Amino acid sequence: MSQPLAIDDDAAWRDVASQWQIRPDTVYLNHGSFGPPPQPVRAARAAWIARLDEQPMDFFVRQFEPAWFAARSALANFVGVAEAKLVFVENATAAMNVVADGFPLDTGDEVLINDHEYGAVFRIWQRRCQRVGADLRIAQLPWPIEDVQQTVDAIFAAASPRTKLIVVSHITSATAVTLPVAEICRRAQRAGIAVAIDGPHAVAQLPLNIEALCCDFYTASCHKWLSAPFGAGFLYVAPQWQSQLQAPQLSWGRISPARIETWADEFVWSGTRDSSPYFSIPAAIDFLESIGLEQFRARTHWLARYARRKLLELTGEDSMLPDDPAWYGCMAHMPLPAPTGAGTNSSAAAADATGARLLQRALWQQAQIEVPVVEFGGRRHIRVSCHLYNHTAHINLLIAALDQLLRDGC
């Protein structure tokens, strides 16, 4: 891009926004769940699929491995790791399962998670702990969050001499909080505790240097803020743990005559599959870099902040996070009033969870707006995701629809 674009000028971003083909009947404010790819990434994937379909033998036997290693090299450089410590998997969930299946746990050991963690991650570690007789402990993060030390202290207040692993999101899914993972890793190192970071929301939304975090594991999906195709994820493993982890599906690993020489080799060839999502990651990186990563982050944070301000004006409910890009980036997370007649007794949380589902459904059915409304901490919240195809009119439509629905008692 020849010159910077004004972050508050929707018209200036019109050409960039046109690179996405969002269905015309939809206001899409949910990139944080399922992020659609822009046109250059779709074209790259289509080209890889065509190469595969037109001559499968040539593709798999001669082109596949060079493409796999070239894509890994581009991604490793983008997220700040040595190539040998990174492998492709389909998504962050697959990566976290690999970690859980291989991490050494014994009866009486503890895995520490927190109450903002993604539900699927909780289930993964719950199953792993149940299988070996370990305990899964849940730290309660402060809410509202005020500062880094308060947050780190809350996590380690729940740790014990039996804690072997801390599992923590880089950016939480339900609450869109950027957690101080570097500080958590440093303190964990001093305590001799391993750290697995769940990072699907951080890729592109934040400048990443995974090696500098000194974590033990990092799992991520690239279909969110990087806007790579669905089915493109990765797993980073520090060298001391690589011998403990195995590919979940054993196949040839490397294509003959190449031999298995490193832990990562087992992840290269896992059987006949469409690997075009992996091979399209460099196109996604190139696309965002052509716009400018800092421009992307500044524009999307400006939109999230605009949404946050409009929601505050509408509801009078303030955010539980400081208004600071250190704590949130492309997503605005705000509490909402309880549904009319929700009550204040022990059934209120259940009523609010039901109210969250009903409100999300109503926003789609009545206004064709895709945006998550979730129950957290006994209250319902809305999480507005902003990418480069969004503009202030989308947020204004959300506010108008939400205003009407809340007035109607939703």
Q: pLDDT tens digits for 72-98?
A: 999 999 999 999 999 999 999 999 999
Amino acid (one-letter) located at 49: I
Give the angle 406-407-410 at the CA atoms, nearest 5°: 40
Cα–Cα distance, 156 to 166 (Å, whole number): 9
**Structural tokens at position 384:** 């507005």
Q: Are 71 and 282 in contact (CB under 8 A)?
A: yes
Enumerate the H helices of 117-268 as residue ranges: 119-132, 148-157, 181-191, 210-213
The pLDDT of residue 49 is above 90: yes
pLDDT in tens, 171-212: 999 999 999 999 999 999 999 999 999 999 999 999 999 999
Adjacent-strand bridge partners of 206: 203
Between CA 366 and CA 182 the distance in angstroms is 43
Q: Is the C-alpha dihedral spanning 220, 222, 224, 230 positive or negative?
A: negative
Q: Do 117 and 169 meet the contact criterion of CB atoms below 8 Å apart? A: yes
Q: Which helix (H) or strand (E) holds 137?
A: strand 135-139
Q: What was the pLDDT predicted at 202?
A: 98
Contact 348, 378 (CB under 8 A): yes
When pLDDT is averaged across residues 127-143 and rounded to a whole number, the result is 96
The DSSP element (H or E) to which 72 belongs, if any, is helix 64-79
Neighbours of 325 (CB within 10 A): 15
The H-or-E segment that residue 365 falls in is: helix 348-367
d(CA 155, CA 275): 38
Interatomic CA distance for residues 199 and 225, integer angstroms: 11
The pLDDT value recorded for residue 345 is 47
Distance in angstroms (rounded) separating the CA atoms of residues 58 and 379: 55
C-alpha 305/C-alpha 54 separation (Å) is 47
* Overall size of the chain counted in residues: 410
Indicate the pTM of the whole model.
Answer: 0.95
pLDDT for 342 equals 53
Share of the chain above pLDDT 70, in %: 96
pLDDT digits (tens, 9 = 90+) for 318-371: 898 999 999 999 999 999 998 876 554 445 555 566 788 999 999 999 999 999
pLDDT tens digit string along 287-312?
999 999 999 999 999 999 999 999 99
Picking from 158, 155, 157, the residue whose alpha carbon sits closest to that of residue 169 is: 155
CB 379 within 8 A of CB 338: yes
